Amino acid sequence: MDKVITIDGPAGAGKSTVSKALAARLGYVYLDTGALYRALAYKALRDRVATDDPDALAKLCATTDVTLHNVDGHMTVYVDGEEVGGKIRTEEVGLAASSISAFPVVREKLLSLQRDAGARGGIVAEGRDMGSVVFPNADFKFFLDADLEERIRRRTRELGDGNQPAQTACVAKDMRARDQQDSQRKIAPLTASPDALIIDSTSLTVDGVVDRIIERMAFAGASRPAGRKPNGA
């Protein structure tokens, strides 16, 4: 069976670019789980649902249909039948996603969707708790990190305003807030699984990171005793 590969890490560490490139190289499906949290957050913001109110979020979860569809190897998120695409890629939605992701009702709603997407293997799943909670028995687990300054630079560039000090300051503020929220929440906090390989991407190119991942997989495959479960929790 094709493998399940998990890539966790903080915002701006390069997870999406690396995961997409890795999935393309292996011919695997790419699952961006942050997009699921962003999609729910997008609806919460649009409908003025308080992103810190557990009752309001429970109602939002109960009345929202979130689905994933494989479009050319990329699991695309739909909310109540609408493809939310680019609308969820703002800093505002990212911060709201971080906020709602601390609530159990939200995490529970999205858990089975993620597991179902990976049930047949052949997937590169990216997020914060892929290796620790969603796919504890993943075949290969990676934790991608980078210096805060570099992560801020990358995110600012991604948003298209790389030279504006004001934009950089805004991204820096949001990123610090998200790092804090994501790593200090009680359930499924951002953490490197003990069996994940930590890769610091600060001074690596995307291809450099992908090469390192593929080398690691080849090495683990070659050195693993026959019949033994790889990397499982």
Rounded to whole angstroms, what are the CA distances from 114 to 37, 38, 149, 182? 11, 14, 31, 18
Nearer to ligand DC, 91 or 161 (CB): 91
Q: How far is the CB of 188 from ligand DC (least distance, A)?
A: 7
Q: How far is the CB of 186 from ligand DC (least distance, A)?
A: 12
Nearer to ligand DC, 51 or 101 (CB): 101
| 22/123 Cα distance (integer angstroms) | 10
Residue 9 within binding range of ligand DC, rule CB under 6 A: no
Q: Write the single-letter amino acid at 218.
A: A
Q: How far is the CB of 228 from ligand DC (least distance, A)?
A: 27
Residue 38 within binding range of ligand DC, rule CB under 6 A: yes
Q: How far is the CB of 17 from ligand DC (least distance, A)?
A: 12
Residue 156 within binding range of ligand DC, rule CB under 6 A: no
Nearer to ligand DC, 40 or 213 (CB): 40
Residue 4 within binding range of ligand DC, rule CB under 6 A: no
Residue 14 within binding range of ligand DC, rule CB under 6 A: no
Residue 127 within binding range of ligand DC, rule CB under 6 A: yes
Q: Who contacts 211 (Cβ-Cβ below 8 Å, separation ≥6)?
A: none
Taking CB under 6 A as the criterion, the residue among 5, 11, 152, 196 binding ligand DC is 11
Q: ∠ at Cα 204 (201, 205), nearest 5°?
A: 115
- Write the interaction track for ligand DC spanning residues 85-124; mark x where CB under 6 A is met and - where it is not: ---------x--xx--x-----------------------
Residue 182 within binding range of ligand DC, rule CB under 6 A: yes
Which residues of this chain interact with ligand DC, rule CB under 6 A?
A: 11, 33-34, 37-38, 94, 97-98, 101, 127-129, 178, 182
